[in-house]
Structure 1
């Protein structure tokens, strides 16, 4: 029995036979010079390969329709393959040089990827791998190079590999995969996101795994502890099989909480809301017994507009249209049948890149995009985006119980500017005789130390607060939780974070406005208890976690929750 340790990327336990993906052979790209008369044929070859790969991506996109994460991957790839800036740079450099098109394409791909890697941002670094993956496919076609075919992976296998290219992850939706164990890979990588999305246990950052495990060896992947066990003995195998059985039994027991209201052991009521990123997820929220939508991330809608760019010359498209936004918001509101739906205005920029003609800015141009022109800063700088979104939101408001939320607020002036903008939109709709709800609440996300520190002031101009604990924690203690070098320092229970939470909750209570939490703290056992003890009665989380939080709260009295919270806040 051999135990290997790595980084937990997706929880759960998987048992199966190993399928070791061989390391890809290196492409050989000659730096040999070409003749001027050969350039037209070289460009023709490039255009053919580009068209061929674009067609393949379009087919793969069609094959994964309905799968949000997979669709986003291939939509992004399609945009990259049609990016006029990058392709124009490749063609210009090729015309100015005497190297082959393969040599120039490889050079430009690495140049763009290096720029993203040097951004210091984990998300942008992962997008560098996207560029290398998709234009690597174009290079493979140009060179008639045929790497390993991921389709060879069988059902019920544990995938053992150095890494998985984003385009290879389609196998995760086509096969029953027992687990994934990789040498490389980040928690924010496509394979990590998809593993969590499909419930596939995954462990990354395992040294020498290709030397330690052979194909067909029996392997246990413990995605919760970050352990991979090769050739387990009878005791270990029985232990993990028993854990799988108990996990399934517990999942079945949680189903009884779906239709029950969330209450503490002594009868205190809670509202458990769902965080969603697509229209279809609203249906899942209803199925899981959500009391409403606490956070609808609208930036993912803008990515879906890439579908309408199929075959277009330009990769940048007009912003998600008012009519399309209206229909999306209307569907969510109708799906929730009168339950509250909090829709966040566009939170693009930083680690969320959208490609739109209406956005005259690129976060890749910023040295520190997470501190740059993003969220409400970006939409106020691009007012047509905000106007279009507010019009769509107000038009949809008559179909349900809508709330509008402003992301990354750091000043009262920003809120006042949005409120003035919203008033103008309401006046426009009135003049056009378009029906809407004039009393839609407008609130703010508290996700920076600045917002928390002036929460008493913000409460006077806001209808509600929603605390985004992920960014609040990162910005307060200056730690990027996706950066492996400092990730151990990321601590939601850091006293500075807890004090800011406490201050914000008290400011909301003093002004008589609702306060909720929509960050990761809203779904983890100890943090749920601390937040509930502080007085938070509305929590928003992934729909699939709602029943487990209901179960947790049902076992605790308010006095017990207050005692747990007080212990954490004993320095106040």
Structure 2
């Protein structure tokens, strides 16, 4: 077989070498037929029985989770159980059977397709990719309906050909991933997914190489093909030549040795060779993520995305998470960090999100009623979340981070809402930290250009580089047709970053970076040289970034930093960045 290479989205680090094991989705081909009137209720019962069976399967998988399983898996299984109980999934297809006389499989796929189309309109990466949860739950029900055989090899059937297998699939659900626990799998390749898909999150937590968003890889790759995953480059090499295979085996061995050395840095402070201390924080999506953050040696949580509590809700007020539910989640994260600060971002969704898909019809959700705009338009929802965050602050240091700030009235209204929440809690005798710091995410160019408005009234700033780049360069970072224009080294981006750090230093308030640039190893010296002293990133990236900091001299970087900030030539910027890497590095 001729060798060929596929390109996708890298979501973890490292190299995997093994044979392909294809998982075929049950939902690709379902039967479509109309059910006679007298058989409709029997068809309804068939679907209900399948849903009940999947509920039992999820409960069994959850109960059998091994102690060393990633903590995210339990939480994801809980999410899938909630989805399965949601009327939009468990009841709406029954109505389709009764009204349209569709067979059970057709009715389920019809409803899931409709829900998926709604999720495609979501701007937020994390929430948009939760569409996969609904599809994975439906696929599990379809497997029961169609009596599909389990295609994952069990531990007693593993031989040399299935050892070190690389799972190739359209997508992989958390429940399916648990079937691999007895299998010597070494990597994941999926057609769908992005940086925040379950496959991405779990592969990062496991430290397993993965490439997602590959389009049609599962159709091009055949069972038992030899594969190389280069997850640093987002590349999968199919049927590699012997010479290429040997080269990658050498690289893989070297990476494994380096990873063992990095593990020893857990308790080492991130201090440069010339004595500059850098605070390394973790981004988390779930309270359970604090385990990985602590294991990686994070000094705290720089970004706790609170959206996971709200996702997969149908939008009715009674279905939103209660104050108590939110409080318990925030408290779990705070306690999990054992006294280290936890920065919780307020709800970053919009009117186009699943919280409410009926009231608004906006042409461009990126410019619509999202983040703080949405929260201020739903004051009771916002107040409930603020009360829960404040209550969690009684159990450890908490910071409140507000996304997409751009206007003075947004700052004032937010602070007024926090004051109201404090007043209510005090009146009720509930404990909280009255001095909880409040900060703004700088992700809209207007905020970066009007910083005095922010630094006078807020306690800290955090730069969301992903959105800042998207809004500054006027590109949709999820659109593959313009993805090549997404440039974190664009002169305008560098100028905005410099403006923020300068204003923060002058006002003597902390400023961190919690976007993708913070965990990009090639930018570590650039950011620290510019003056950033707090970087927040996925926990798995912390050790390598820390090592780069330990081998850096900030004073040696300054001539290069000045040259980069003076230049508007992309070639000069990248050449200077490369020169700075060697200049700022002190090898042991």
> So what's the TM-score if we normalise by structure 1?
0.85
* Distance apart, 1:384 and its partner CA: 2.8
Moved more, 511-520 or 12-21: 12-21
Give distance in 2, aligned partners of 1:205 and 1:269. Answer: 37
SS of the equivalent of 2:304 reads strand
Alpha carbons of structure 1 residues 64 and 496: separation in structure 2 relative to 1, 3 Å: farther
2:438 maps to 1:416: no
2:506 maps to 1:499: no
Match of 2:141 in 1: 138
2:523 maps to 1:527: yes
2:504 maps to 1:508: yes
SS of the equivalent of 1:275 reads strand
The one of 262, 280, 291 aligned to 2:288: 280
Alpha carbons of structure 1 residues 222 and 494: separation in structure 2 relative to 1, 3 Å: same
2:348 maps to 1:347: yes
* Distance apart, 1:416 and its partner CA: 0.9
Moved more, 343-352 or 441-450: 343-352
Give distance in 1, aligned partners of 2:194 and 2:347. Answer: 26
Match of 1:31 in 2: 33
Give distance in 1, aligned partners of 2:63 and 2:316. Answer: 18
- Asked if the contact 2:352/2:361 (under 8 Å) is kept, the reply is no
SS of the equivalent of 2:53 reads helix
Match of 2:579 in 1: none
Give distance in 1, aligned partners of 2:263 and 2:131. Answer: 41
2:563 maps to 1:562: no
Alpha carbons of structure 1 residues 556 and 156: separation in structure 2 relative to 1, 3 Å: same
The one of 440, 443, 450 aligned to 2:446: 450
- Asked if the contact 2:460/2:510 (under 8 Å) is kept, the reply is yes
2:285 maps to 1:254: no
- Asked if the contact 1:102/1:139 (under 8 Å) is kept, the reply is yes
2:242 maps to 1:242: no
The one of 148, 151, 170 aligned to 1:149: 151
2:199 maps to 1:191: yes
- Asked if the contact 2:461/2:510 (under 8 Å) is kept, the reply is yes
C-alpha distance after superposition, 1:535-567 (max 9, x if no partner): 211212222333322221222222333333323
SS of the equivalent of 2:275 reads coil
Match of 1:19 in 2: 21
Match of 1:427 in 2: 423
- Asked if the contact 1:443/1:463 (under 8 Å) is kept, the reply is yes
Alpha carbons of structure 1 residues 102 and 467: separation in structure 2 relative to 1, 3 Å: closer
Instruction: Number of aligned residue pairs: give it.
Output: 558
- Asked if the contact 1:117/1:124 (under 8 Å) is kept, the reply is no
Alpha carbons of structure 1 residues 96 and 462: separation in structure 2 relative to 1, 3 Å: same
Give distance in 2, aligned partners of 1:123 and 1:146. Answer: 30
- Asked if the contact 1:277/1:296 (under 8 Å) is kept, the reply is yes
Moved more, 225-234 or 245-254: 225-234
* Distance apart, 1:414 and its partner CA: 1.1
The one of 463, 467, 473 aligned to 1:471: 467
Match of 1:309 in 2: none
* Distance apart, 1:337 and its partner CA: 4.6
* Distance apart, 1:209 and its partner CA: 5.7
Alpha carbons of structure 1 residues 535 and 122: separation in structure 2 relative to 1, 3 Å: closer
SS of the equivalent of 2:566 reads coil
- Asked if the contact 1:121/1:351 (under 8 Å) is kept, the reply is no
Alpha carbons of structure 1 residues 370 and 194: separation in structure 2 relative to 1, 3 Å: farther
Give distance in 2, aligned partners of 1:273 and 1:314. Answer: 33
Alpha carbons of structure 1 residues 520 and 173: separation in structure 2 relative to 1, 3 Å: farther
SS of the equivalent of 1:258 reads coil
Q: How does 1:168-179 map to 2 (within 5 A)?
A: 168-179=176-187
C-alpha distance after superposition, 1:111-135 (max 9, x if no partner): 4434444668866765555444433
* Distance apart, 1:446 and its partner CA: 0.8
Match of 2:544 in 1: 548
* Distance apart, 1:453 and its partner CA: 1.8
- Asked if the contact 2:488/2:517 (under 8 Å) is kept, the reply is yes
Match of 1:310 in 2: none
Alpha carbons of structure 1 residues 369 and 190: separation in structure 2 relative to 1, 3 Å: farther
* Distance apart, 1:469 and its partner CA: 0.9
SS of the equivalent of 1:74 reads helix
The one of 149, 152, 158 aligned to 2:165: 158
C-alpha distance after superposition, 1:457-488 (max 9, x if no partner): 11111111111111111222123333322222
Alpha carbons of structure 1 residues 481 and 198: separation in structure 2 relative to 1, 3 Å: farther
Match of 1:439 in 2: 435
* Distance apart, 1:495 and its partner CA: 1.6
- Asked if the contact 1:119/1:368 (under 8 Å) is kept, the reply is no
Unaligned 5+ residue runs, structure 1? 307-312, 354-358
Give distance in 1, aligned partners of 2:243 and 2:203. Answer: 27
Alpha carbons of structure 1 residues 200 and 428: separation in structure 2 relative to 1, 3 Å: same
Alpha carbons of structure 1 residues 172 and 372: separation in structure 2 relative to 1, 3 Å: farther
Moved more, 325-334 or 508-517: 325-334
Match of 1:297 in 2: 305
Alpha carbons of structure 1 residues 145 and 363: separation in structure 2 relative to 1, 3 Å: farther
SS of the equivalent of 2:278 reads strand
Give distance in 1, aligned partners of 2:28 and 2:338. Answer: 55
Give distance in 2, aligned partners of 1:430 and 1:315. Answer: 29
Give distance in 2, aligned partners of 1:332 and 1:160. Answer: 32
Give distance in 2, aligned partners of 1:563 and 1:352. Answer: 46
SS of the equivalent of 2:480 reads coil
Give distance in 1, aligned partners of 2:280 and 2:91. Answer: 50
Give distance in 2, aligned partners of 1:497 and 1:260. Answer: 32
- Asked if the contact 1:83/1:316 (under 8 Å) is kept, the reply is no
* Distance apart, 1:105 and its partner CA: 3.8
Match of 1:394 in 2: 390
Alpha carbons of structure 1 residues 243 and 194: separation in structure 2 relative to 1, 3 Å: same
SS of the equivalent of 1:568 reads helix
Match of 2:586 in 1: none
What RMSD, in angstroms, separates the aligned Cα atoms of the two structures? 3.6
